[in-house]
Amino acid sequence: MLRLRWSVTSFSSLFLGFVPLLGACSGPSGGGFATPGSADVASSTLARDPAPDVSPADQAALEAGNASFAFDLFGALRRPSDNVFFSPYSITSALAMTYAGARGGTADELANALHLTLPPERLHPAFDWLDLQLAARAGAAVSDAGKPFALHVASSLWGQRGEAWKQPFLDTLAVDYGAAIELADFEHDPRGALGAINAWASGQTAGKIANLLPSGAVDADTRFVLANAIYFDASWAHPFQATATSQATFTRGDASTEEVATMHAVDRFLYAEGEGWQAVELPYDGDQVAMDVVLPAAASEAAFDAGLTASGFASVVAGLGLAKVHLALPKFAVSGGSVSVRAALEQLGVRSAFAAGADLGGMCDDAMFLKDAVHQATLTVDENGTEAAAATGGVTSTVTPQREATVTVDHPFFFVIRDLPTGTVLFAGKIVEPNG
């Protein structure tokens, strides 16, 4: 859930269903197999590494790769006349665990699509480091509001009861992701397994995603499901005042117009502009996470979208500087059911994983392939909440800004919610219809 102090609520999850080609993962092999830690869990005896030794160079490589994947995926998911909202970090986290069990060409495709440049023995500890960094963000929040800052990423893996999962795979899950495989009986009770997975997703997202997997998403042939949920609950450092909200005209992506409730503020924000675009950064309580709103000029919207890359966005961020901003931002919402992102991943080069030639031999010896990848996210932005005590260093500066700008968000815009210390894109989207 993404709840801001204008109130942003957002949830996202990923479902990966693996189907066997040749039967269950059975029989010993040279790699060794997992012994279930209990009747209901297949787990490693190893504990999670709470302080992975990750070099600054490896940290930077992971951050750069995650950013590249985020914007590649935006390009693949983008639709001119539809809202887009997704969590690239949620998807990356889930696929990184899949990568731990991939081999050969399937591993190469995942690495190329996700921009994974580190070798596995350094990559998975780097993901551990990043997850631990994000988990620590709540400690920086100082708001006296009723709801504290929360950023929580959770993964749940579900495997067929009675199968023998390779021990090295489970060791990686345990040490670098704090995860084990929950055992379910897809073969004899797919409905019960589906209900258990959906109950987990609902619990991780405060009930906002109650039905991550639609009916029929798992069946008797399913052998492995990976679900990932991200929950974000925070307050803006500089909330809008509800009394300043008024109706204003918004021009949709199809050039039609509507009247939308629009929030107004005049404050010191980090601001940048370039040929055909403006950007403003809105910080959250704790100074660690922010939303960057990028508004392309109406005439250059299509070209801006098509050219939006990780390096281009990095240039936008690099240009941010303190300014007095007259900001008008519509209240907006994005909602919808589970959506397959398989086509987008295939467009980015992940093809063999979804076909009979998949090599997921790091999980078990028998052949399996990826059935689908389903993502679900909702977002609401409004004025709810009370003012937080903290703000970003630039925003809270006592120095009078030398620049003054007006940003009127009255036509389609792009936005990113990112972790500032690491640059991790937690959520990204484009709004063409504020009322969702």
For the stretch 404-422, pLDDT in tens is 999 999 999 999 999 999 9
**How many Å apart are CA 357 and CA 349, to the nearest integer?**
14
* 372 pLDDT higher than 90: no
**In 284-402, at which residue ranges do the beta strands (DSSP E only) sit?**
289-296, 321-330, 332-334, 339-340, 368-381
Mean pLDDT of 50-78: 96
* 14 pLDDT higher than 70: no
Supply the pLDDT for residue 385: 27
Query: Which has the higher per-residue pLDDT, 17 or 203?
Result: 203
Per-residue pLDDT tens digits for 24-36: 454 433 344 443 3
CA 128 to chain centre: 16
pLDDT band at 329 (very low <50, low <70, confident <90, very high): very high
390, amino acid identity:
A
Per-residue pLDDT tens digits for 283-300: 888 788 899 999 999 888
pLDDT band at 67 (very low <50, low <70, confident <90, very high): very high
205, amino acid identity:
T
Supply the pLDDT for residue 167: 93
Handedness of CA 324, 328, 331, 332 (dihedral sign): negative
**How many Å apart are CA 73 and CA 92, to the nearest integer?**
10
Supply the pLDDT for residue 16: 62
pLDDT band at 306 (very low <50, low <70, confident <90, very high): confident
* 398 pLDDT higher than 50: no
Per-residue pLDDT tens digits for 96-126: 999 999 999 999 999 999 999 999 999 999 9
Supply the pLDDT for residue 229: 75
What residues contact 69, with CB distance under 8 A and at least 6 apart? 88, 92, 113, 114, 115, 348
* Percentage of the chain exceeding pLDDT 90: 43
Give me the chain's average pLDDT, please.
Answer: 81
* 15 pLDDT higher than 70: no
Supply the pLDDT for residue 20: 53
Kindly report which listed range (204-213, 308-317, 357-366) carries the lowest average pLDDT score.
204-213
* 77 pLDDT higher than 80: yes
pLDDT band at 37 (very low <50, low <70, confident <90, very high): very low
Supply the pLDDT for residue 10: 35
Per-residue pLDDT tens digits for 185-237: 988 998 998 898 888 878 877 776 777 777 888 888 888 888 777 777 777 87
Supply the pLDDT for residue 131: 93
- Max Cα separation, the chain? 70
Query: Which has the higher per-residue pLDDT, 243 or 38?
Result: 243
